């Protein structure tokens, strides 16, 4: 029993030290990528790449869980933020995310009080051309990819392992069920789920 208590005490102490070190590393990562941010809490350190000419802003009281320790639901990757040249990623106040990938080639807006579950991916691009003839050549592949903005409005909850695709708007207060693939916009105050995501019921 005493060994167990010693282990728990050491684990807590190491967790505190790691959290402080992670916070310092986050500040450096944000600064190095020209990210606009205020106060935040982070378990672990995200992967961030903001291209020259890209814009990335994180609001007040932003919370990130990177890796499995803060949210052990089977997702082990850190949060990933990629903002391409000329693209704009805006995250509002009191937003919490876990092991989330947000890939912005155009414009992604996330409103206040949004919760994004473990392993969620948000893409505003197809990454590649849909026509195989363009995909065969790298220069034409990227030139013909389709980008469309994504908007996640206030108070939305996106369940774990969901995928939000280009051109989608998720209305205020709505919920996306875990494991959903969202290919079209969701009105406010509704629950959607499935692959592809479909209307379940009103809130």
Q: Is 10 left (phi over 0), alpha (psi -120 to 50) or beta?
A: alpha
User: How many residues comprise the chain?
Assistant: 203
Q: Answer yes or no: 128 catalytic.
A: yes
For residue 67, give both structure tokens.
């890796």
For residue 88, give both structure tokens.
């704009």
Q: Describe the strand order of the beta sheet including 181-182 as a list of residue ranges.
A: 47-50, 80-83, 101-104, 121-123, 163-164, 181-182
Distance from C-alpha of 186 to C-alpha of 41, rounded to nearest angstrom: 29
Q: Which of 41, 94, 128, 144 is catalytic?
A: 128
Distance from C-alpha of 182 to C-alpha of 157, rounded to nearest angstrom: 13
Count CB-CB contacts under 10 A for residue 124: 27
Q: Find the Cα–Cα–Cα–Cα dihedral 64, 67, 73, 74, rounded to 10°.
A: 150
Residues identified as active-site: 128
């Amino acid at each position: 029993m005493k060994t167990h208590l010693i282990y728990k005490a050491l684990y807590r102490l190491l967790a505190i030290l790691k959290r402080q070190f992670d916070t310092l590393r986050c500040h450096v990562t944000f600064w190095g990528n020209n990210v606009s941010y205020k106060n935040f809490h982070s378990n672990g350190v995200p992967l961030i790449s903001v291209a020259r000419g890209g814009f990335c802003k994180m609001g007040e009281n932003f919370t990130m869980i990177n890796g499995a320790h803060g949210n052990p639901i089977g997702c082990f990757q850190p949060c990933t933020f990629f903002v391409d040249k000329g693209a704009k990623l805006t995250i509002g106040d009191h937003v919490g995310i876990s092991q989330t990938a947000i890939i912005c080639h155009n414009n992604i807006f996330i409103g206040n009080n949004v919760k994004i579950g473990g392993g969620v991916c948000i893409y505003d691009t197809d990454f590649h051309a849909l026509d195989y003839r363009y995909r065969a050549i790298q220069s034409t592949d990227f030139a013909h990819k389709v980008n469309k903005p994504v908007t996640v409005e206030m108070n939305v909850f996106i369940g774990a392992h969901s995928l939000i695709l280009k051109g989608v708007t998720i209305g205020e207060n709505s919920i996306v069920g875990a494991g959903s693939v969202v290919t079209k916009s969701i009105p406010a105050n509704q629950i959607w789920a499935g692959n592809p995501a479909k209307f379940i019921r009103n809130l």
